Amino acid sequence: MAAPIEPAPGPSPEEGTPARPSWGPATGVGSLPGTDPVEALRVVTGELPDFAHLPELPGRGAGADLVGRSAALLVDLAVELTPAGWRLVPRAGIDQRRAEELLARDLDALHDVAEGYTGPFKVQAAGPWTLAAGLERTRGDRAVVDPGARRDLAQSLTEGLAAHVAAVTARVPGAQVVVQLDEPSLPAVLVGALPTASGFGKLPAVEAAVVEQELAAVVGALPGPVVVHCCADRAPLELFRSAGADAVSFDLGLVQDLDALGTAVEAGTHLFPGVVPGADAPLPAPKATASRLRAWWRELGFPADRLHEAVTLTPSCGLAGATPGHARAAMTHVREAARYLLPE
């Protein structure tokens, strides 16, 4: 794990091991407002030409949300939508087919808009803990409380994500695909803050060692670099790093544990700091954001000339709740702020 990503030790590309991609200077978290995947991809590839991503459009409804979209990737597992949310079921039905169709449309749009794209390209899905927290078992509570269900989900998700990466690569041969695992529910898993299915109680906390071990199994089995993202308060960045993430993505305004970030940098883990709001709000000048990042970097205690290689700037969280104007402005902002980090 190095920043920027460099070829892994071992055989050269000529001997069959492809070089790993460099991180781009700025990218998006994943979600955007709107319902048109073609237009969303045009905006992303236009505003973030050095590190684009496959947009998520939750505004399209059920099946385009984080859990439903990720469930569409599952192999040999089925889900359906209930009034309480998504649930594991014995056979796939109309809800899962809709989620799969939405994902297929996104891949069609990718071929139409970005076939000639080259460079790092990011895809996103719920991480194993957030997916298990968001899916109910056929009988009982959330899958997160059942080690067997978690194992099955994690293996199915890993297999589905590998196929998804292959599908993206087939449509955009020049893309060097990076997988982002979204884990917004993981802080609640660790402290026992997830509500039960009835809503009248809380599920027990899961030990950090168990969380790390099961996350590491997924991270280690995925093709290419893996980013673990959490823009919630108390994001366990050290756990993500220890689980083998090549990069960690977080809201810069919420992170107080500078020691964890310092350890990550020293270990070669790349950082994706979220620097502008995901919802509509006034934006500072890009140069001011760059100055804020330099001050933060000095507080971490690292040489100034390493900053631009160690970070990829993003909005603080997904942009699905923003207006289209703010979403575009946020992407423009992180791209321009990243330019001010380059050595003079």
pLDDT tier for residue 256 given thresholds of 50, 70 and 90: confident
In a domain, 78, yes or no: no
Domains of the chain: total: 1
In a domain, 19, yes or no: no
Q: Does the pLDDT at position 21 exceed 70?
A: no
- Structural tokens at position 283: 């934006």
Cβ within 8 Å of residue 335, ≥6 positions away: 25, 26, 47, 48, 50, 313
Q: What CATH number is given to the structural domain containing 260?
A: 3.20.20.210
In a domain, 336, yes or no: yes
Count the neighbouring beta carbons within 10 Å of the beta carbon of residue 2.
15
**What does the alpha-carbon distance between residue 151 and residue 158 come to, in Å, rounded to a whole number?**
11
pLDDT tier for residue 17 given thresholds of 50, 70 and 90: very low
Of 11-25, 156-170, 241-255, 319-333, the range with the lowest mean pLDDT is 11-25
Q: Does the pLDDT at position 10 exceed 80?
A: no
Beta bridge mates, 195: 202
In a domain, 129, yes or no: yes
The pLDDT of residue 207: 97
**What does the alpha-carbon distance between residue 89 and residue 314 come to, in Å, rounded to a whole number?**
36
DSSP string, 50-105: TSEE--B-GGG-TTSSHHHHHHTT-SS-EEEEETTEEEEESS--HHHHHHHHHHHH
**What does the alpha-carbon distance between residue 217 and residue 227 come to, in Å, rounded to a whole number?**
14
Q: pLDDT for 32-71, tens place per residue?
A: 999 999 999 999 999 999 999 999 999 999 999 999 999 9
pLDDT tier for residue 303 given thresholds of 50, 70 and 90: very high
Q: pLDDT for 110-144, tens place per residue?
A: 999 999 999 999 999 999 999 999 999 987 789 99
Q: Give the angle subtended at the CA of 154 by the CAs of 230 and 215, to the nearest 5°.
A: 45
In a domain, 324, yes or no: yes
Give the range of the structural domain holding residue 271, as residue numbers without chain letter. Answer: 37-54+108-340
Q: pLDDT for 190-239, tens place per residue?
A: 999 999 877 789 999 999 999 999 999 999 999 999 999 999 888 999 99
**What does the alpha-carbon distance between residue 317 and residue 321 come to, in Å, rounded to a whole number?**
10
- Structural tokens at position 240: 């993500």
Cis ω for the linkage preceding 4 (within 30 of 0): yes
The pLDDT of residue 252: 95
Confidence (pTM): 0.92
Q: pLDDT for 314-329, tens place per residue?
A: 999 999 999 999 999 9
DSSP string, 99-127: HHHHHHHHHHHHHHHHTT--EEEEEEEE-
- The whole-chain average pLDDT of the chain stands at 92
In a domain, 121, yes or no: yes
In a domain, 118, yes or no: yes
Q: Does the pLDDT at position 8 exceed 50?
A: no
The pLDDT of residue 138: 84
